[in-house]
Amino acid sequence: NAKSCGSNAYRFYAEAQTRAADERLAMEVALRRALDHDEFVLYYQPQVDARDGSLIGVEALVRWRSSQRGLVSPSRFIPLAEESGFIVALGDWVLRDACAQARAWLDEGVPLTRLAVNLSARQFRQPDLVERIRAMLDGNGLRPTLLELEITESVLMDVAGAMEKLGQLASIGVRIAIDDFGTGYSSFAYLKSIPFDVIKIDKSFVGDIGRDQASSRIVATIIQLGHGLDREVVAEGVETAEQRDFLLAAGCSSCQGYLFSPPFPARELDAWLRGEPY
């Protein structure tokens, strides 16, 4: 009857919930172990000037090289890491590892002028974030302007005191990029009032260039908006020559995407710079 049916459905639902909770817990434990066992690795994706293909900078993108799960993409663990708070420890590792790598590249003579690192909301909320970053830069002898922190619109909207934090970061000379631009709670009010250097057009819009007129127009409009505010505009997810040509015609030459290169381990930058296939 309906009643037992209902309670059965409830039982299955409850069991599924318990299972999901167990899996999450197991994943959280596995992530913490992974950090202790040095299983995270940074890949780097070049940002290029699409006019001549020259290097503008690199974005650090974390991966989990798990003995059991293989190479795990961040979309599979960053959300959980954010919820559980583990992102603060992981993000700290990312910043330290990326800064050390930048130092190594500069010592090797790589003409690196930008190191972009993604920052989560939780990390952004750390009271001592600015001091930590300053210490990492100093410790590696890096100019603050080398470092570009990528934050999403939601971070800006969510965080009380975001303005103050951004102001402090700007005052030490670190650059700020708004990542995945156009997908969050876009508000012109904050664009006017916050210090930032770069708008990164979300790859969902870039991917639809030439396929969908509305997306193409949105891309062109974001470029005008960014340049109108005297900011740099970077297009992410550039995969085709057609997209690149559209972006160039629309005035955006800073590009990142598979057309130029996928993210790769640090040691491959040299070969990429020399234009060797890898």
Point out which residues bind ligand C2E (CB under 6 A): 45, 61-62, 73-75, 78, 87, 91, 94, 118-120, 150, 179-180, 203, 236-239, 257-258, 263
Residue 185 near residue 153, CB atoms below 8 Å: yes
Distance, in Å, from the CA atom of 272 to the CA atom of 278, rounded to the nearest integer, reads 8
Instruction: Considering only the stretches 68-76, 133-141, 159-167, 270-278, report the one whose residues sit in contact with Mg ion under the rule CB under 5 A.
Output: 68-76
For ligand C2E, which is the closer residue by CB, 118 or 253? 118
Contacts by 86-90, CB closer than 8 A, 24 or more apart: 86/28, 86/31, 86/32, 86/35, 87/120, 87/122, 87/123, 88/122, 88/123, 88/126, 89/32, 89/35, 90/31, 90/35, 90/40, 90/62
Residue 120 interacts with which of ligand C2E, Mg ion, none, CB < 5 to 8 Å by class: ligand C2E
Q: Where are the beta strands (DSSP E) in the chain?
A: 40-49, 54-66, 70-72, 115-118, 147-152, 175-181, 198-201, 232-236, 254-256, 264-265
For Mg ion, which is the closer residue by CB, 150 or 153? 150
Looking up tokens 């309906």 gives 2
For ligand C2E, which is the closer residue by CB, 2 or 178? 178
Residue 197 interacts with which of Mg ion, ligand C2E, none, CB < 5 to 8 Å by class: none
Interaction of residue 179 with Mg ion, rule CB under 5 A: yes
For Mg ion, which is the closer residue by CB, 18 or 206? 206
Tell me the residue nearest to ligand C2E as measured from the CB. Answer: 257
Minimum CB separation of residue 260 from ligand C2E in Å reads: 8
Minimum CB separation of residue 148 from Mg ion in Å reads: 10
Residue 208 interacts with which of ligand C2E, Mg ion, none, CB < 5 to 8 Å by class: none
Minimum CB separation of residue 40 from ligand C2E in Å reads: 9
> What is the CB-side half-sphere exposure of residue 20 using CA atoms within 13 A?
7
Q: Among 39, 148, 150, 153, which residue sits at the site for Mg ion (rule: CB under 5 A)?
A: 150
Interaction of residue 73 with Mg ion, rule CB under 5 A: yes
In terms of Cβ atoms closer than 10 Å to its own Cβ (0-12, 13-18, 19+), residue 71 is exposed
For ligand C2E, which is the closer residue by CB, 11 or 76? 76
Q: Is the dihedral of CA 20, 26, 30, 33 positive or negative?
A: positive
CA 137 to chain centre: 19
Interaction of residue 118 with Mg ion, rule CB under 5 A: yes
Minimum CB separation of residue 12 from ligand C2E in Å reads: 33
